[in-house]
Amino acid sequence: MSQDEKVIAATPARIPLDLRNVKAYRLARSESQTVFWQRFLVTQSSGSRYEQGAKISPTLGMLITGWAAGLITEGQLAVLANSYRNNVGEREA
């Protein structure tokens, strides 16, 4: 079993994701804001604003939804993040 498969298997499958209340999902996973949001290249402070009701962009919402459903793995998110950083430069990511 790959590391990504282990992460997916360890994720409580019955935790419903509601993008209007991502905080509840994050807390159900017992993750800090930093850990949860960094996988999507979101700072802790921006993640906090989303959790307080700021609108999540459709693009970020699709990433979170795909990841929560197991359609996008941790490894795939890392590849996307590296590709993005290489494309725009580290200081903008």
The average pLDDT across 71-88 equals: 93
pTM beyond 0.75, yes or no: yes
Looking at per-residue pLDDT, the higher value among 12 and 65 belongs to: 65
The average pLDDT across 62-66 equals: 95
Burial of 63 (0-12, 13-18, 19+ CB in 10 A): buried
Q: 25-53 as b/e, with b when 16 or more CB fall inside 10 Å?
A: bbeeeeeebeebbebbebeeebbeebbee
Question: Are the C-beta atoms of residues 25 and 12 closer than 8 Å to each other?
Answer: no
No. of helices (H) and no. of strands (E), the chain: 6, 0
Query: Could you give the CA distance from residue 42 to residue 63 in angstroms, rounded to a whole number?
Result: 12
User: Residue 89 has what pLDDT?
Assistant: 74
Model pLDDT for residues 36-55, shown as the tens digit of each residue: 999 999 999 999 999 999 99
Nearest to 68 by CA among 40, 34, 33: 40
Model pLDDT for residues 1-39, shown as the tens digit of each residue: 665 555 555 555 567 899 999 999 999 999 999 999 999
